[in-house]
Amino acid sequence: MSATLKDFLEQCHSLGLVRLIVKNEAAVLEARGTIEKLFYAELPKGKYANMHTDVFEFHLNMDKIEQVKFETGEAKRGNFTTYAVRLLNAAAEPELSIFLQWGKPGEYAPGQIDAWQALYDQYGEMWQPTPVAQL
C-alpha cells in the first residue's frame, strides 16, 4: 500500500463518531468527535494534520507516525468488541489511538463497523504510510 497518512486520515471521516486517545506516562486525554475538515501545515518540526472543533483542537505531526495498526479487542467494561486504529511511532508505541465510539456499550452506529472493516481491507492489519512529500 503506497498511501500517505494524509490520504488515510482523509478517509477516517467514514468512521463516524470516534474516541481519540493520547496518553503519556503522566496523563491520558480522550476526546470524542468525527475526523473531518482537516487542514495541513508544514512547520519546522514536521508536517501536521490539524482539526478544530467546538470542543477540541487536534494537531498530529504526521512525520512522527511510522506505522498504522488496526486492532479489535474486548471492552474493559462490558462484553463487546472494540475497534481501533493505532498510529505508531518509530518505537512501535501508539502516539494516537482512534476507537469507534458507541452509544450504549456495544451499540455502534449503522455503518461504523463496515467503514472500519473497509479501511482494514484496504490497508491491511498493519501498514507503513508513504511519507507526505508536499501538503
CA dihedral 116, 117, 120, 122 (to 10 degrees): -110
Domains in the chain, CATH or no CATH each: 5-127 (3.40.1570.10)
Enumerate residues 6+ apart whose C-beta is below 8 A from 116: 15, 70, 83, 85, 100
User: Contact, 33 vs 128, CB < 8 A?
Assistant: no
Least confident of 3-7, 64-68, 105-109: 105-109
CA dihedral 31, 52, 121, 47 (to 10 degrees): -120
Name the grid cell of 8. Answer: 488515510
Tell which residue, 65, 39, 41, has the closest CA to residue 51.
39
Q: What is the mean pLDDT of residues 88-98?
A: 97
In the chain, % of residues over pLDDT 70:
99
Q: What is the pLDDT of residues 8-33, one digit of tens each?
A: 999 999 999 999 999 989 999 999 99
- Long-range pairs of 48-51 with CB within 8 A, sequence gap ≥ 24: 49/5, 49/6, 49/9
